[in-house]
Amino acid sequence: MSDATLTVEVVRKWNEARGICGFELMLPDRAPLPRFSAGAHIDVHLPGGLVRQYSLCGSPERDDRYEIAVLRDENGRGGSMSIHDRVHEGDLIRIGVPRNHFPVDSQAPRHLLLAGGIGVTPILSMAEHLSSAGAAFDMHYCTRSRDRTAFAERLAGSTFCDRVQFHFDDAGIDQAFDLAGVIAAAVADTHLYVCGPRGFMEAVLAEARAQGWVEHRLHYEFFSGTVSNAAEEQAFQVRIASSGASIDVPPGCTVVEALARHGVEVLTSCEQGVCGTCMTRVLEGQPDHRDSYLTVEEKAHGEYFLPCCSRSKSTLLVLDL
């Protein structure tokens, strides 16, 4: 998580769709905000000390406000319920400056945007940016039902509405999402961008890879990490290269937690292997990657890992700390 924060005012809060609240944020003096690129997110500091990451869903061409939309998750870690229940219009909150781990490839000749549920937030920003830039793209948006579809009216009334197709789970066969067909129909050299629930994203990426899409044409951002089972985990050690100190990491304990118990602090944010804040270089050993941040190639290379969630396949990891 970046140390740079801004204090912003919640100038508008609204019900965007069933279970989804939208928030419009501006500086109290209405000065311009730091610019961002499509796909960017911000850290939001919530009541009770929670910090969560939310994608910016407004147009990157505007610098007077940020927009985010948050799905209430009763089974989550508390962030979505906190912002739904405890953040109101007129409140001042702290946010981080925008960061982007999910950018649009400006050199790509064509773009295919696939959104599932609340994963539409960065995809919407991409669509508006690509439309303004005159770029070629198509968008498919999958949700459980129309009343759960955030920004449906905004997309339907946009200048690029003819490039957007909606797919509702409770609708007829005419609106079914033909994943294999959509990917197969993409023009050569198209770049694919996907965001949504983990199962949706894994299905999209698996289908694209099965059809021969190369990794550099696949762009994605997960909203949550993988689920670990402590009963299946093995203990291992990490060694701090700068001091030579060795620290035990037992089952059910993350590397970040083990290090903190011995006074070694690693900067973290999401604590789920999604944001990349804690990425650490591995000098020796074989990481057991459990994050959703590193690419397939980066994981295979093994030079870096995310200690907030990943573990070790070897009995020892030597870290560049």
In a domain, 70, yes or no: yes
Residues 252 and 307 placed together within one structural domain of the fold? yes
Q: What is the pLDDT of residue 268?
A: 81
Query: What is the per-residue pLDDT for 226?
Result: 54
Encoded tokens for 313 = 């396949």
What is the per-residue pLDDT for 171? 78
Determine, yes or no, domain membership for 279.
yes
Tokens matching residue 321: 């700390």
180 and 91 co-located in one domain? no
**92 and 70 in a common domain:** yes
Domain containing 9 equals: 5-96
Q: Which helix (H) or strand (E) holds 258?
A: helix 255-261
pLDDT at res. 172: 73
pLDDT number for residue 284: 94
- Which tens digits make up the pLDDT trace of 28-38? 999 999 999 99
Selected residue with higher pLDDT from 86 and 277: 86
What is the chain's mean pLDDT, rounded?
91
Domain boundary among 173, 195, 221: 221
| Model confidence at 225: pLDDT above 80 | no
Q: What is the CATH number of the domain that holds 40?
A: 2.40.30.10
Instruction: Examine the fold and report which residue of 221, 256, 286 is the final residue of a domain before the chain moves on.
Output: 221
Specify if 296 maps to a domain. yes
99-112 pLDDT per residue, tens: 998 999 999 999 99
Q: Do 215 and 277 sit in the same domain of this protein?
A: no
pLDDT exceeds 70 at position 1: no
Listed residues 174, 202, 221: the one ending a domain = 221
Q: Is residue 74 part of a domain?
A: yes
Same structural domain for residues 208 and 176? Answer: yes
Give 17's contacts (C-beta < 8 A, 6+ positions apart).
147, 148, 149, 150, 151, 152
Q: Is residue 103 part of a domain?
A: no
Distances (CA, A) of 185 to 85, 131, 298: 43, 21, 29
Question: What's the confidence (pLDDT) of residue 230?
Answer: 57
Rounded to whole angstroms, how far apart are CA atoms 185 and 207? 13
Is there a single domain that holds both residue 299 and residue 216?
no
Question: 224 or 114: whose pLDDT is higher?
Answer: 114
In a shared domain, residues 115 and 185:
yes
Of 33, 194, 60, residue with least CA distance to 125: 60
104 found inside a domain: no
CATH of the domain at 150: 3.40.50.80
Same domain, 44 and 134: no
Residue-level pLDDT at 3:
61
Residue-wise pLDDT tens digits, 271-319 = 778 788 899 999 999 999 998 788 888 899 999 999 999 999 999 999 9
Could you give the 3-state DSSP secondary structure of residue 7? strand
Classified as helix, coil or strand, 13 is: strand
Farthest CA pair distance, the chain:
63
Judge if pTM exceeds 0.85: no
> Do 168 and 239 belong to one domain?
no
Average pLDDT of span 169-173 = 80
Q: Which helix (H) or strand (E) holds 168?
A: strand 164-168
Q: What is the pLDDT of residue 231?
A: 59
Is the same domain home to 149 and 215?
yes
> Does one domain contain both 145 and 179?
yes
In a domain, 306, yes or no: yes
Helix (H) or strand (E) holding 45: strand 41-45
Q: Would residue 138 count as lying in a domain?
A: yes
Does 258 lie in the same domain as 208? no
**Number of domains the chain is built from:** 3
Q: Which CATH number do you get for residue 262?
A: 3.10.20.30
Could you read off the pLDDT of 124-169 as tens digits, one per residue? Answer: 999 999 999 999 999 999 999 999 999 999 999 999 999 999 999 8
Q: With 80 as the cut, is the pLDDT of residue 177 above it?
A: yes
Residue of 260 and 231 predicted with greater confidence: 260
